[in-house]
Amino acid sequence: MVTLNEGDKAPAFSGKDQNGDKISLSSMKGKKVVVYFYPADDTPTCTIQACNLRDNYSLLKKNGFEVIGISPDEVTKHKKFESKFKLPFTLIADPSHTILEKYGVWDQKQMFGNKYMGVLRTTFMIDEKGIIRKIFLRPKSKAHAEEIIESMNY
């Protein structure tokens, strides 16, 4: 269950991106950052969401946003996902669920009566000072960039 609130300081994190480079939230200080958590690379809904962010990436950048996607997938899987769909933004691998747990998005889910642990699809908009300004608990995968831009007034 997401336990963070709008107005909270975003938890610090670091991890390896799709190129194996270390990326940290602190390296984004002074920038607005969209951190979106998603269950898995190359699955239908996750692909729709990633491609929506890709298709509107120039608009997000024009509005000053950096985009970081985080899932439990490994670096190599992220690289294939990035290449296959020509994703222009950072994907961080979190197979140990460290970042996912810090943000409260690794939780029990249920499908067809079966309970399992998984990622709660959630997006955090973080301002230049590292403060969470908006949380999307159920982002609209087909129109996610649009809802981010619309909520820019916080």
pLDDT given for residue 153 in this prediction: 66
Domains and CATH numbers, the chain: 34-150 (3.40.30.10)
Between CA 102 and CA 104 the distance in angstroms is: 6
Contacts with 33 (C-beta within 8 Å, 6 or more apart), sequence order = 25, 65, 66, 67, 68, 125, 126
Query: How much is the average pLDDT of 53-74?
Result: 96
pLDDT given for residue 28 in this prediction: 92
Band (pLDDT 50/70/90 cuts) for residue 110 is: confident
Out of 23, 28, 46, 125, the active site residue is: 46
Query: How much is the average pLDDT of 95-124?
Result: 94
pLDDT given for residue 40 in this prediction: 97
What would the pLDDT profile of 66-89 be if each residue is shown by its tens digit? 999 999 999 999 999 999 999 999
pTM of this structure: 0.95
Side-chain-side CA neighbours of residue 51 (13 Å): 11
Please say if 51 is a catalytic residue: no
Band (pLDDT 50/70/90 cuts) for residue 111 is: confident
Between CA 109 and CA 117 the distance in angstroms is: 6
